[in-house]
Structure 1
Amino acid sequence: MACASCLVTDVIFDFCGVVLDWQCRAALAGHYPPELVDRICADDDPCGFFDYEDRMDHGELLAQVLPDVEREQGKELADVFADYIARYNDALPRMIPGMEELLGDLRKAGYGVWGLTNWSCETFHFAFEKFPQLERLLNGTVVSGVEKKFKPNADFYELALHRFGLKPDACVFFDDTAKNVTGAQQVGIRAFRFSTAEQARRDLASVGVRL
């Protein structure tokens, strides 16, 4: 359990859906027929793109995943998936509104600001290439595809805490996925499910962060 009265010194953020707006559709629309894009991006993942990408987030390389895509979905969809990965920066249309300002305000106020993300080692570079301001806004980032550890498993949070030199009860974590929030809480980090930058500011204020 996190210490409810402990002083917060550091804030840790998930990337996609929190710091960056990730949209699979944005990388496919205009390149492929609308009906194919709709099928790939459907919530029930009939083409398996989200599942294949999740495998890459867990540490597998495209060369390991792509044969399964072709065997399970066919050559056409395998080619689309490979193209999607190659143009992954198109899936990152913007930073989430208000997040650049929030990260900057935290840094100015003296808080440590960190990233903890489930992301492929082969596509993570696009985030910093497209949004170079992340270099000055974040003190450091731990990436699942590099470490082959991932949320919501406890060892991934613990790796980040050790690498950043942080105490769990002095940290706050934001993620847009409920199970990842729970995972952080189980290692003693105060954690909130992210919805908007404005709500994140309110959540931070609730645990004594003053901006």
Structure 2
Amino acid sequence: MPNSPITDVIFDFCGVLIDWQVRACLNGHFPDDVVSAICADDDPHGFFRYEGRMDEGEDFDTIYPDVVREQGDEIAGIFRYYIDHYDDALDRLLPGMLELVRDLKRHGYGVWGLTNWSHETIHFAFDKYPQLDELLDGTVVSGVEKMFKPNADIYELTLNRFGLNAAQCVFFDDTAKNVAGANEVGIHGILFENALAARQSLAALGVRL
């Protein structure tokens, strides 16, 4: 067993608990080539840059004029559609993750959420998957707090708000820089792969389920 036994597990949302797929929201509504460009890693239309600003706490109405000016009316209209129909991008809960959260709770571990997400669209996650709200003991949302992973302040806020000891916490995220940010404040940050690998990582830290 580690010197400081794990008591709490913190989960990112998209890519860890929820399968977030922009294409699932846009397919069939807009031309295939435009959707493919938007979903590409080097998206020339900047969807994820604009969405990142929302995740940092800016309002859609503040950002939208920039989208129109920089991308034109057509792309701006697609971005508005995407935000208005955000629940369609939340394709499913990732396999095995609901069971993992339930197992952790059943064995007395605290389970928490920490996500980079807009304050205007986070409700879609809880509306579509109310199990998350029922199971998680609390969630910190970047767009609400105007703090953003991987900056240390949002991890420290999470620890302080929920009364957690960093050395006794595990944090799963699918983005390496966010894992590094957790590690820098003393949390056991782990790069998420899938539910089975997460269970194995927890077991290696002394978590028995």
Match of 2:3 among 2, 5, 10: 5
Matched residue, 1:150:
148
Q: Which runs of 5+ in 2 are unaligned?
A: none
Spell out, residue by residue over 1:42-91, the C-alpha distance to the aligned partner (whole angstroms, 9 max, x if none). 11011100110001000011001111100000011111101100000000
For 1:24-39, list aligned pairs within 5 A: 24-39=22-37
**Cα distance, 1:40 vs structure 2:** 1.2
State the match for 1:17 in structure 2: 15
Name the residue aligned to 1:161: 159
Match of residue 61, structure 1, among 46, 59, 62: 59
Q: Summarize deviations over 1:86-140 as a string: whole Å, max 9, x none.
A: 0000000100110000000000010000000000000000000000111221000
User: Residue type matched to 2:34 in 1?
Assistant: L
Question: What corresponds to 2:194 in structure 1?
Answer: 196
CA distance in 2, matches of 1:183, 1:43: 22
What residue number does 2:94 align with?
96
Instruction: Report the AA paired with residue 170 of structure 2.
Output: V
CA distance in 2, matches of 1:177, 1:35: 27
Q: Distance in 1 between matches of 2:197 and 2:128?
A: 26
Task: Give the unaligned 5+ runs of structure 1.
Answer: none
Aligned-pair CA distance for 1:7: 0.8
Letter in 2 for 1:96: L
Cα RMSD for the two superposed structures: 1.0
The residue that corresponds to 2:106 in the other structure is 108
Provide the C-alpha distance between the structure 2 equivalents of 1:65 and 1:23, rounded to a whole number of angstroms. Answer: 22
Q: Map 1:199-210 to 2 at 5 A.
A: 199-210=197-208
The runs of at least 4 consecutive aligned structure 1 residues that moved more than 3 Å come to none
What is the identity, as a one-letter code, of the residue corresponding to 1:188?
Answer: G
Letter in 2 for 1:138: L
Q: Distance in 2 between matches of 1:130 and 1:15?
A: 13
Task: Give the secondary structure class of the aligned counterpart of 2:189.
Answer: strand
Give the corresponding residue for 1:123. Answer: 121
Query: Residues of 1 paired with 2:134 and 2:123: CA distance?
Result: 15
1:140-186 deviations in whole A, cap 9, x for unaligned? 00000000001000010000001111010110000000000000000
Quick one: which amino acid aligns to residue 48 of structure 1?
G
How far apart, CA to CA, are the structure 1 residues paired with 2:82 and 2:159? 32
Count of residues in Structure 1 that have an aligned counterpart in Structure 2: 209
Identity fraction in percent: 64
